[in-house]
Structure formats: structure tokens, C-alpha cells
Amino acid sequence: MKLSQPLIYFVFLLLIINCSKSYGQNSIMSKFYFPGQLGLSFPHVDDQKLNLKKGFMLTTALEFRPVDGNALFIRFNYDAITNHYQEVYLNSPTNVNTGKLSSSIFSLGLGYRHKAGIFKLFGLLQPGLGINNYDKVNFNTETITVEQVSRRHLSFKITAGAEYYLAEHFALTIEPSYFYLSPRGNYRLLNPQSLNLSLGFTTTLF
């Protein structure tokens, strides 16, 4: 008996769904977590005249856990931080005296997670690349233009965190962290260091 084409497609679809469920439960994909947080960033600067305000931080990440339980893990982070300031240094990359500093920081590092009662605690060290974006005003004969200037810096991020699991692969998180950006060139950094506090979640796709 020859099977109709729609029936073949339907059986094939059922096989794909069944394999996908098994793959999601038992494959390497269940070891990938996707943390996301919102938080506050508190910059530390030596010169109080700069008056760099606390800012908002958005964090997205990809984390690989080779094994469950007390173990090492690897995480890639993208942190977007926005601060406002009221005065800049004379040798700053920007000539806008009152403006906004936008930072994008990409980090990759190794951490360790340990179960402690109803929580899982972890520590994480991540070197990376920090990109500061400044506005710069150009005065021409007849026009005034605003361009964006970027500066790249070696960065280091230290994180300590706690997770509370509502389900096997879904947890609420709190993460205090510290950023350090290495100086570069003959200009002064507006944000060489910052303390941060973020709240969010972490989960898998399956």
C-alpha cells in the first residue's frame, strides 16, 4: 500500500518533534544557560569634579556548564552601561562638557558554582574588551556636527552571585560585580572602575 504524501509528512514531523524532545533533555544543549539581568552601576573616580552619575546596566550572557552540581563553568558576558556626567577632563576623548557615556563590555572567563542549602553560589573572573562611546562636537564655518568617538580598553570583571531555583533549569539571580578598565593612550578615562549590582534570571532553552 502506498502512503499518501501528507501522511508521510505528518509521520516525519512526529519523528522530528520526538527527537527534538529527547535531544533537548539529554544533549549538550541542556548544558547551555542564558542569564539576563538589569542593574545599577556605581562608578568610582578620583576627581569629584567629573560628577559621573550612577548608571543603568543591562547584562546578557551565554554560560556553559559541563556538569551539574559543584563544578567549574564558562561564561561569555555582554554588559551595556550608561552613565551621565557634568564635567569632563581637559584631555578626555570628548569635548561635550555635560553628556552621556555609553560602555559596551565583552567578557569571557571561568567560574565555579557551589550549592549551599536552597541557593547556588558562584564566583567568576572574566577578562575582556571594553568599548567607551563618547559624543564629540565639531565646529565648522557654517555648521555644527556631532559624531561618536569610540575608545577600546582591556577590561576585567569580577562577579559573585547567588541563584534561587524555581524549577530545575530556571533560577532568579543576584550578582554584585566589579569592573576595571585599563588606561590607554594619553587621555584620562571617565570610568576606570565601577561597582555594580544586578537582578535577573538564568534559564536553558529546553
Over range 134-144, report the average pLDDT: 79
Lowest mean pLDDT among 34-43, 46-55, 101-110, 179-188: 46-55
- pLDDT tens by residue, 34-78: 999 999 999 987 666 667 889 999 999 999 999 888 999 999 999
12 in any annotated domain: no
Q: Residue 93 sits in a domain of what CATH number? A: 2.40.160.20
The pLDDT of residue 12 is above 60: no
pLDDT at site 103: 94
The pLDDT of residue 21 is above 50: no
Half-sphere exposure of 143 (CA within 13 A, CB side): 3
Residue 50 or 33, more confident: 33
90 in any annotated domain: yes
User: What is the amino acid identity at position 136?
Assistant: K
Cell reading at 141? 564655518
The domain of 64 spans 31-203
The pLDDT of residue 17 is above 60: no
Closest CA to 171 of 63, 85, 44, 15: 63
Over range 84-91, report the average pLDDT: 73
- The total of structural domains in the chain comes to 1
Cα distance between residue 18 and residue 20, in whole Å: 5
Cell reading at 28? 549538550
The pLDDT of residue 113 is above 90: yes
158 in any annotated domain: yes
Report the predicted TM-score, pTM, of the whole model to 2 decimal places.
0.81
8 in any annotated domain: no
Instruction: Characterize the bridge pairing of strands 119-139 and 71-85.
Output: unpaired
5 in any annotated domain: no
Residue 135 in contact with residue 88, Cβ under 8 Å?
no
